[in-house]
């Protein structure tokens, strides 16, 4: 395996329109999301409060926070729904066979 990448999870761990919370060294907790067969890694912690976005829901390419219903576009991290106004971090993921990886920091 490539030491410049860290393994996040198996793709089968994430149902379509589902989210998996993952922690890897060097990163704040991540929410790994599947949207229509594409995979994304975003910050798990909402930018509005200390909510775990992986406990929220995905709809129309957005993730909605379980605390106050704020939303973000998963592909960009941009806020889409108040009270969220600050973007969250997004990170490229790499798929190798049935697993997902993120660049090591
Ligand atoms: Fe996420 Fe308030 S903590 S919307």
Q: Band of the pLDDT at 1, cuts 50, 70, 90? A: very low
Each domain of the chain, given as residue ranges in start order, spans 5-93
Question: Rounded to whole angstroms, how far apart are CA atoms 21 and 53?
Answer: 8
Fold of 5-93: Rieske Iron-sulfur Protein (2.102.10)
Pocket flag, ligand 1, residue 70 (CB < 6 Å):
yes
88 backbone dihedrals φ, ψ, rounded to 5°: -110, 160
For range 57-86, the mean pLDDT:
98
Report pLDDT for 105: 87
Average pLDDT of the residues of the chain: 96
Helix or strand or coil: residue 13? helix
Q: Report the C-alpha gap between 19 and 77 in whole angstroms.
A: 15
- The answer, yes or no, to whether any atom of ligand 1 lies below 6 A from the CB of 77, is no
pTM of the model: 0.95
The Cα 67–Cα 52 span in angstroms is: 9
**ipTM value of the model?**
0.99
pLDDT at 61: 97
Integer Cα distance of 98 and 88 in angstroms: 27
The finding on whether 49 has its CB within 6 A of some atom of ligand 1 is: yes
């Amino acid at each position: 395996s490539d030491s410049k990448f860290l393994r996040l999870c198996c793709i089968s761990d994430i149902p379509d329109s589902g989210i998996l919370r993952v922690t890897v060294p060097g990163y704040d907790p991540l929410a790994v999301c599947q949207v229509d067969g594409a995979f994304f890694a975003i910050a798990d912690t909402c930018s509005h409060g200390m909510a775990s976005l992986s406990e929220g829901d995905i709809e129309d390419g957005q993730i909605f926070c379980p605390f106050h219903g704020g939303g973000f576009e998963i592909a960009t991290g941009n806020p889409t729904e108040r009270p969220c106004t600050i973007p969250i971090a997004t990170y490229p993921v790499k798929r190798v066979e049935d697993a997902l990886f993120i660049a090591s920091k």
